């Protein structure tokens, strides 16, 4: 099975756009798996962004909304202020991966933030989202306090550093590395090239 490795952060709007385009590109390809990797744009204690400040409304008006409209990806600038840290959600992602729900969990957290204006830094909100994708609420909440999952998240961040990830989304398909949003056509061509390479 071919894999698309995707580095992203749950508070990155371009990552949701990339997610949508990847989903469309692989809709008819049962031989492709998306593997999600964590990259915190602003790890604690770095201050996170505030939607009432000038930067977020400006970048959304100039870049996010035009790209989202071009690719027909519904999303809205969340009003949660300051924006949430994502370490807790990423620890939960490790639990989701252990229970076969990594992809569904990733998608649910992203859409909850950018389409439902939900605070994905809040433990109870995250537990609700985990239940939405079939995870056990108590087990999920316990995992958020389990040092094992915290260490695994730190290991994931170390792997991101080792891969020299500085931009999210970053997409790796075989030997092809794409920094930023990739169109369906680019993703499809990369997968086709990798399939040919695998046969050769």
Q: What is the pLDDT of residue 42?
A: 96
Contact 105, 135 (CB under 8 A): yes
User: What CATH code is assigned to 2-199?
Assistant: 3.40.30.10
pLDDT band at 195 (very low <50, low <70, confident <90, very high): confident
Q: For residue range 11-24, what is the model confidence (pLDDT) as tens digits? A: 999 999 999 999 99
Q: Return the closest-CA partner of residue 114 out of 184, 6, 17.
A: 17
Average pLDDT over residues 42-55: 97
Q: What is the pLDDT of residues 96-115, one digit of tens each?
A: 999 999 999 999 999 999 99
């Amino acid at each position: 099975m071919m894999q698309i490795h995707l580095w992203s952060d749950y508070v990155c709007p371009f990552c949701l756009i990339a997610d949508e385009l990847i989903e469309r590109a692989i809709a008819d390809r049962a031989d492709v798996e998306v593997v999600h990797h964590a990259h915190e744009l602003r790890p604690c204690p770095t201050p996170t962004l505030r939607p009432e400040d000038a930067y977020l409304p400006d970048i959304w008006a100039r870049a996010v909304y035009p790209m989202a409209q071009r690719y027909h990806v519904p999303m809205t600038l969340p009003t949660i202020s300051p924006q949430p840290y994502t370490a807790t959600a990423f620890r939960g992602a490790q639990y989701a991966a252990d229970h076969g729900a990594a992809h569904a969990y990733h998608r649910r957290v992203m859409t909850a933030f950018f389409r439902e204006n939900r605070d994905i830094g809040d433990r109870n909100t995250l537990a609700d989202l985990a239940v939405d994708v079939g995870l056990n609420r108590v087990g999920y909440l316990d995992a958020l306090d389990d040092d094992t999952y915290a260490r695994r998240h730190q290991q994931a961040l170390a792997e991101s550093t080792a891969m020299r990830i500085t931009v999210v989304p970053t997409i790796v398909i075989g030997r092809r590395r794409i920094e930023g949003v990739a169109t369906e056509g680019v993703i499809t061509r990369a997968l086709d090239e990798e399939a040919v390479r695998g046969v050769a």
